[in-house]
Amino acid sequence: MFPYFPFKREILFKQYQSPLLFIFLLVLFSGLVGFFLIQDIQKTTENIENIYLTQPRLPAAYLKLNQGTLFFVGDIMLNRGIKSVVETYGGGNFEFPFFKIADYLKTADILFGNLEGPISDKGKNVGSIYSFRAIPEVLKGLKFAGFDILSVANNHIFDYGREAMEDTLIRLKEAQIEYIGAGFSGKEALSPKIIELKGTKIAFLAFTNLGEKSWEAKENSSGIAWLSKENLEYSTREAKKEADIVIVSMHFGQEYKNQPDSEQKYFAHIAIDYGADLVVGHHPHLVQPIEKYASGNIAYSLGNFVFDQNFSEETMKGLLLEVIVVSGKIKEVIPKQIKINNFFQPELKD
């Protein structure tokens, strides 16, 4: 049996008629609002897309105007076998070593390399069988290739003594090629060269701890920038105050090793910790790994670029590091393989 309710159907309907009608109207109103809202969003989206398609793409144009390209190459030695090849096959023209790659190098806004040894007709050989001194005519080749800045902080810059080293600095300046890693005083040797590229200030520093400690530039005497924790910290932090990007070149490590040693890692890492954005290494004559560390990049060794070490396949290779800079920051680091042919000319590897 169903329970008995003492209410008539009419009374029950009237009692619940108003709430049911309210709910129905609320659902209908919400549906209509949602429909028109969706239509409005679709129209707005279409308008935005039309604006984007019909207006210039400002980000791409902005990047083009504010993007710069830097090239970094390895060891450059223009004496000994290189000089012989230039005289025998290049008619004495020191543009010859760069014939195969000069056009590509000139596409960079800034071209950097390590000058292995002095450029001078002065000084005396210190006695090593591996002493280098390039004749002043090689400057024509370096200019032809498009070099803007060279590190001279290495174990060969004193091969013909202080006189040849100082003469090298003078000749580079006269040729309008910047040098880093040495100077006529300690202050100059430890100071960055700052180049402004499309609104971005880039500071270049160079150091080495190879050679004699007596080669270190002092307050009133010429010499090289000696690689030490104190010098590295001072110079890097000071450079960071003046520039958007700080690049540190280090001539360090062990010859003919394809992996960085603990000392290389130590100095490269603390350089980044002190504010460097990129560390570029030379000296091993072999290519070593590229590492991402914290907010910076480290290329431990770029190997050879122009060198006469044809006794092994590995010493006839190198890296060209292409660095893309956009609006005050390094956007990309791209390694490109270099091969050195039988005439000691670097070429891009296919």
pLDDT, tens digit, 9 for 90 and up, residues 202-241: 999 999 999 999 999 999 999 999 999 999 999 999 999 9
CATH superfamily, with its number, for domain 67-348: Metallo-dependent phosphatases (3.60.21.10)
The pLDDT assigned to 31 comes to 58
- Assigned token pair, 187: 């202050």
**SS3 readout for the chain:** CCCCCCCCHHHHHHHHHHHHHHHHHHHHHHHHHHHHHHHHHHHHHHHHHHHHHHCCCHHHHHHHHHEEEEEEEEEECCCCHHHHHHHHHCCCCCCHHHCCCHHHHCCCCEEEEEECCCECCCCCCCCCCCCCCECCCHHHHHHHHCCCEEECCCCCCCCCHHHHHHHHHHHHHHCCCEEECEECCHHHHHCCEEEEECCEEEEEEEEECCCCHHHECECCECEECECCHHHHHHHHHHHHHHCCEEEEEEECCCCCCCCCCHHHHHHHHHHHHCCCCEEEEECCCCECCEEEECCEEEECCEEEEECCCCCCCHHHEEEEEEEEEECCEEEEEEEEEEEECCCCCEEECC
- Assigned token pair, 53: 């398609």
The pLDDT assigned to 65 comes to 76
How far from 31 is each of 10, 21, 24, 37, 76, CA to CA, in Å? 31, 16, 11, 10, 76
214/226 Cα distance (integer angstroms):
10
pLDDT (tens digit, 0 to 9) for every residue of the chain, 350 residues total? Answer: 434 344 344 443 344 455 555 455 555 555 554 555 445 545 544 443 443 333 344 455 555 678 999 999 999 999 999 999 999 999 999 999 999 999 999 999 999 999 999 999 999 999 788 999 999 999 999 999 999 999 999 999 999 999 999 999 999 999 999 999 999 999 999 999 999 999 999 999 999 999 999 999 999 999 999 999 999 999 999 999 999 999 999 999 999 999 999 999 999 999 999 999 999 999 999 999 999 999 999 999 999 999 999 999 999 999 999 999 999 999 999 999 999 999 999 999 97
How many residues in total does the chain contain?
A: 350
- Assigned token pair, 10: 């009419």
The pLDDT assigned to 334 comes to 98
φ/ψ of 70, rounded to 5, equals: -115, 140
Domain extents in the chain: 9-55, 67-348
pTM: 0.83
